[in-house]
A = this chain, B = another copy of it.
Amino acid sequence: MTTYTPPLRDLQFVLQELLHVEDVFRRLPAHADLDGDILQAVITEAGRFCAEVVAPLNQVGDREGCQLDAVTHAVRTPTGFRAAYQQFVQGGWPSLICDPAFGGQGLPRTLNQVLYEMLNSASQSWTMYAGLSHGAYDCLHAHGTPAQQALYLPKLVSGAWTGTMCLTEPHCGTDLGLLRTKAEPTGDGQYRLNGEKIFISAGEHDLADNIVHLVLARLPDAPAGSKGISLFVVPKFHVRPDGGLGERNGIFCGGLEHKMGIHGNATCQMVLQDAVGSLVGEPNRGLAAMFVMMNAARLGVGAQSVGLTEVAYQNAARYALDRHQGRSLQGPVAAGQPADPIIVHADVRRLLLTARAFAEGGRALLLYTVLEIDRSEGAVDADERAAAAERVALLTPIVKAFLTDNGWMATSHCLQVLGGHGYVAEWGMEQFVRDARINMIYEGTNAVQALDLLGRKVLGDGGKRLQAFAGEITAFLAEASQDARMQGFVGPLARLVQRFAKLTAALGAQAQQQPGVVGAAAVDYLRLSGHLVFAWLWARMAQVALQHETGADPFYVAKLATARFYFAKVLPEVESLFAQLESGDEPVMALEAALF
């Protein structure tokens, strides 16, 4: 019952009018020849694939879920998933941004972000099968030996095989230092792995001929804790030197989780029984190598929630225009009908505009961040590359946690617009909410992101990354404050920058004395950071919209109205956050554990 229309106009707005991607790409040698029309053509075609091929599978996937054959350990994915994946591979979509040396198309990562936002709007469950391969690709591309790269990368690039990340074990998720899976040398340069992994997304399925598992495990002589973890590549089927498939390897799906959402994706318990794999990167340095995947995955999770927010918004807005119920408080709008469309009601508008502000703001933040990755990888100047990488490091936890918290609120808001129908499966809204909930948990819970942001990314370098980023906002403010029409945006943003800087300095000083302060402040601090970035991006988007004669093009009218709504009705969340932060950690830490 849900529909999806790729937001091509808004993507074009963010890419070209806000971020001027073509100017950026022109300065990156690898992408200097990229033509704006080609970019647009690829995006349009990607949108068509998402809307026509993937979106119709989303509710089917939720209803059917995945089935495990306990004898063969095979997993059957929902009806249509395999065929759509084959079309995805045939269309060359897996290879979009991959290295031409391994068969990739070498396009900028920004383009993949566009593709993945739309894929996630169409079906988060389906998209995870494809998305996880990118992590495996990135990891082997960065840390694999030439032999590993030759064996695995072309197949991951083409999409013939998919990838996984095997980290979590029953007794350890966040705290990977506790993991127990063992890897013993076989004597011929390989390793034999034994152990149990849980929550392995796309750990087993029928979409592709082979699955390339990247597995964290301990070598026999490994030190305890997180400094004794190594990374291995463990294929489902052994790969012969000629690239053909050999024997089945000892890594099996032992069970599927029954989950709140993302039913179409197989969340597997994986058993490693003398599974043979090879070491990726240095012994005992597996976590560092894995973080290549992890950082990309965190941005990918943010994209999942933005995708869900967009599609939930579209469907809720359509309902609000179609459903007639009650009358406007200002008097009948649809006088000829027995009731007005519910879009006349202020609270329906508030729910929708919140979702819209989160979708469009999230899109802008993600594309900004991924464009910085392109810059960090492709800029000629080393300083520019380094500065871009710092920005990405700072923004990654914000993208992951702020956008997924927002996605949870926004999809729930959209459900509410439909009233009782929102709660009924057939209408599709409640699935968006259930699917969105996992995004606050996996790839590091949002509290872990918050500790990463405040502890490591902000205080960890004495605030340098943050100051550099704040400098960008200050420069914008200096310029934007010249325009009187920008007053409603410039004022609140400037005050927020100041209060945020003061808060950060205070937290830095307190953290010296009491490290516990960071823990109690981190989650509120992350949401403040998210609003700081959103306020900046929404002010920039308002600035672009104001450059166009108001009323001439409804797109800019709506953009400006959404920006104003965000500043008036969403951004004030910062008032609560500042007030909560003022009370420090004592109210949270006072109660002794036994009294919970």
Contact = CB atoms under 8 A, between A and B. Distances in A.
B424 A347 contact: no
> Which of A178, A259, A426, A587 has the largest number of chain B CB atoms within 10 A?
A587
Interface residues of A, number: 97
A440 interface: yes
A148 interface: no
> Which of A419, A518, A520, A557 has the largest number of chain B CB atoms within 10 A?
A419
Given A349-B591, A588-B346, A441 B423 contact: yes
A385 interface: no
Nearest to A431: B260
B433 A260 contact: yes
B576 A588 contact: no
Contacts of A329: 515-516, 518-519
Interface string A477-493: 00000000000000000
Nearest to A327: B175
Contact of A425 (B177, B199, B258, B433): B258
A590 B561 contact: yes
Contact of A415 (B198, B344, B437, B558): B437
A433 B593 CA distance: 25
Contact of A516 (B330, B446, B585): B330
Nearest to A318: B596
A563 to B, nearest CB: 10
Interface string A313-335: 00001001100011011100000
Interface in A559-596: 561-562, 564-565, 567-569, 572-576, 578-580, 583, 585-591, 593-596
Given A325-B173, A416-B440, A569 B575 contact: no
Contacts of A437: 412, 415, 423, 430, 433
B447 A347 contact: yes
A346 B257 CA distance: 29
A441 B425 contact: no
A450 B329 CA distance: 14
Contacts of A260: 423-425, 430, 433-434
Contacts of A320: 596
Interface string A155-186: 00000000000001000111101100000000
Interface string A382-426: 000000000000000000000000001000100110011011111
Contacts of A568: 580, 583, 586-587
Contacts of A591: 349, 353, 557-558, 561-562, 565
A174 B174 CA distance: 45
A86 to B, nearest CB: 29
A426 B269 CA distance: 14
A430 B585 CA distance: 29
Interface in A233-283: 257-261
Interface in A483-532: 514-516, 518-520, 522-523
Contacts of A580: 568-569, 572
A259 B430 contact: yes
A554 interface: yes
A105 interface: no
Given A173-B419, A346-B519, A349-B596, 4 more contacts: A330-B514, A416-B447, A569-B583, A576-B576
16 contacts: A175-B325, A257-B424, A257-B425, A257-B426, A259-B423, A259-B430, A344-B593, A347-B520, A349-B588, A408-B412, A430-B437, A434-B434, A561-B595, A565-B591, A572-B576, A575-B576
